[in-house]
Amino acid sequence: MLGLFDSGMGGINTVRYLKRTGDDSDLIYLIDRQNAPYGIKTEEEILEITKNNIKALTAMGAERVLIACCTASTVHGRLPDKERGLSVPIVGEVAKRAKKLTRTGRVGVIATDHTVRTHAFAREMPSLSVTELGVSELVGMIDGGLCDLTARDTDRERIENIIRPVLTSGIDTLILGCTHFPAIIRTVSEIAKKYGDISLVDSAKVGAEILRGLKT
Ligand code: DGL
């Protein structure tokens, strides 16, 4: 059996993508509401949370665990051997998709403040020009109920104001480097269109694809 965890609303997007493809496999999904949000915590706190969540999922019967969260994935290399061995982070795979998609080599990342502080995405794409923007504010808005269906004009304006610095940096590819953000992917996509032909990389979707690969 496979396990996955994320803070708050994040991993729900991953599970949704998986189910949409008709996948009915047995999963254990730990929705870590208690520790949300991760992205404004210290590295040590995120490490401790990640370790404990992997332990909890294996205690419940998971043989492999997807760290379905970009923020928690940044501490994968610091996990104790056992927890590192049976868990799979998502950041590297998400970056690979962006590398394939970009035509100009200019990639943007919106992620939590912690993920951006670690430069986890930029380090995966050393030969590209990567503009990273910490937007933990969006995580709070989404955990508070914001999604494409509920977004009003004022929410759209607020989102645009938050992500404008990355959209105006000449990118042709934007990584949604937090699995919460697919909840507003349509809104982000509409906003991004105003700034050019920008392709989006959805980290939750990549997580679902990794999970599918782990089963086979
Ligand atoms: N959804 C998570 C991520 O992919 C974490 C968001 C948070 O709790 O700050 O980074």
Taking only the tens place, the pLDDT of each residue in 170-200 is: 999 999 999 999 999 999 999 999 999 999 9
Nearest residue CA, atom 9 of ligand 1? 39
Q: Which of 79, 94, 139, 178 is catalytic?
A: 178
Fold (CATH) for 92-202: Rossmann fold (3.40.50)
69 is catalytic: yes
Say yes or no: CB of residue 38 within 6 Å of ligand 1. Answer: yes
Q: What is the mean pLDDT of the chain?
A: 95
For residue range 139-149, list pLDDT tens digits in order.
999 999 999 99
Determine the distance separating the centroid of ligand 1 and the alpha carbon of 72, expressed in angstroms.
8
Residue 3, phi then psi, degrees to nearest 5: -120, 160
**Which alpha helices (DSSP H) does 60-135 contain, by range?**
70-73, 81-85, 91-101, 113-118, 120-124
pLDDT confidence bin for 97, thresholds 50/70/90 = very high
Tell me the CA–centroid distance for residue 5 and ligand 1, in Å.
11
Going from N- to C-terminal start, the domains of the chain cover 2-89+205-215, 92-202
**Closest atom of ligand 1 to CA, residue 7:** 8
Q: How many other C-beta atoms lie within 10 A of the C-beta of residue 197?
A: 9
Q: Which fold has domain 2-89+205-215?
A: Rossmann fold (3.40.50)
Please give the number of the atom of ligand 1 that sits closest to the Cα of 37. 8
